[in-house]
Amino acid sequence: MGFNIAIDGPAGAGKSTIAKLVAARQNCIYVDTGAMYRGLAVHFLGKQIDPSDINAVIDACRDADVSIRYEDGMQQVYLNGTNITGQLRSEEVGDMASKTSAIPEVRTKLLELQRTMAREHDVVMDGRDIGTNILPDADVKIYLTASVETRAKRRFDELQAKGQECDLTKIQEDIRARDHRDMTRETAPLKQADDAVLVDSSDMNIEEVTDAILAICADKQ
Ligand code: C5P
């Protein structure tokens, strides 16, 4: 078992930005588990599956092989042998991932892949159920959150910087809906593990959050 750092929290809390920085400083690889759920979502969208048709989703899982490779230190997601990393970040894919990740068979499909990576490498793994379910014995567990308003404003600024049209109220509604789905599903819901350290980044910048997490890691090493 490598040195494992689990970072869980809701959408838009800054997990991936922070996890990448922590991984670089700790000499670990960064494992983005959301990208795996998004990879399956690309498969479901390609087959025009309705996410509310649970049997169709389960059936479609059978011919989806999601795997991970690292190229220049960046995680790449492969679906049935094709690199689909460039397709993962759209709203459509995120929405499909959010809905289908509540289905136990979808979670089981990705569980071994996640555990194997943590067994074979030192990892910073981010997601929703890493500290509670995937790596209950992780060396460090962080629950990284921020207020809905802060998360929505960050997303709004990000989209505006890319020149995309967006509506702050709609982004807030989407974030609330995703939080609700993640926190209330029966299988592996998003919640802070009993032994996780809570970091609320609402009033912290990226450097402050990274330093706070590195200090927690230093205590455990
Ligand atoms: O983090 P990201 O937005 O990329 O994740 C996409 C979706 O996958 C989330 O909305 C969440 O519902 C789901 N997810 C999950 N468990 C994880 C990681 C992501 O259920 N460990």
How large is the ipTM? 0.98
C-alpha–C-alpha distance, residues 207 and 218, integer Å = 16
Cα 163 from chain centroid? Answer: 25
C-alpha–C-alpha distance, residues 147 and 141, integer Å = 20
Q: Does 29 sit in the ligand 1 pocket, CB within 6 Å? A: no
Average pLDDT for 183-196: 97
86 annotated ligand-binding residue: no
The three-class DSSP label of residue 188 is coil
Atom 1 of ligand 1, residue of closest alpha carbon: 34
Confidence of residue 54 (pLDDT cuts 50, 70, 90): very high
- Spell out the residues 6+ positions from residue 174 whose beta carbon is closer than 8 angstroms to its own: 91
What is the structure's pLDDT at 2? 81
Long-range contacts, 174-177 (Cβ 8 Å, 24+): 174/91, 175/10, 175/11, 175/12, 175/148, 175/151, 176/148, 177/98
What is the structure's pLDDT at 75? 96
What amino acid is encoded at 56 in this protein?
Answer: A
Mean pLDDT across the chain = 96
CA of 209 to the centre of ligand 1 (A): 21
The pair of structure tokens assigned to 51 is 């996410």
- 1 pLDDT above the threshold of 80: no
The secondary structure of residue 216, as a DSSP letter, is H
pLDDT digits (tens, 9 = 90+) for 128-179: 999 999 999 999 999 999 999 999 999 999 899 999 899 999 999 999 999 9
pLDDT digits (tens, 9 = 90+) for 17-40: 999 999 999 999 999 999 999 999
Average pLDDT for 98-127: 97
The DSSP bridge pattern shows strands 123-127 and 82-83 to be unpaired
11 annotated ligand-binding residue: yes
The minimum-distance atom of ligand 1 relative to the CA of 129 is 21
Q: Does 190 sit in the ligand 1 pocket, CB within 6 Å? A: no
The percentage of residues in the chain with a pLDDT greater than 70, rounded to a whole number, is 100
Atom 6 of ligand 1, residue of closest alpha carbon: 34
Contact 179, 10 (CB under 8 A): yes
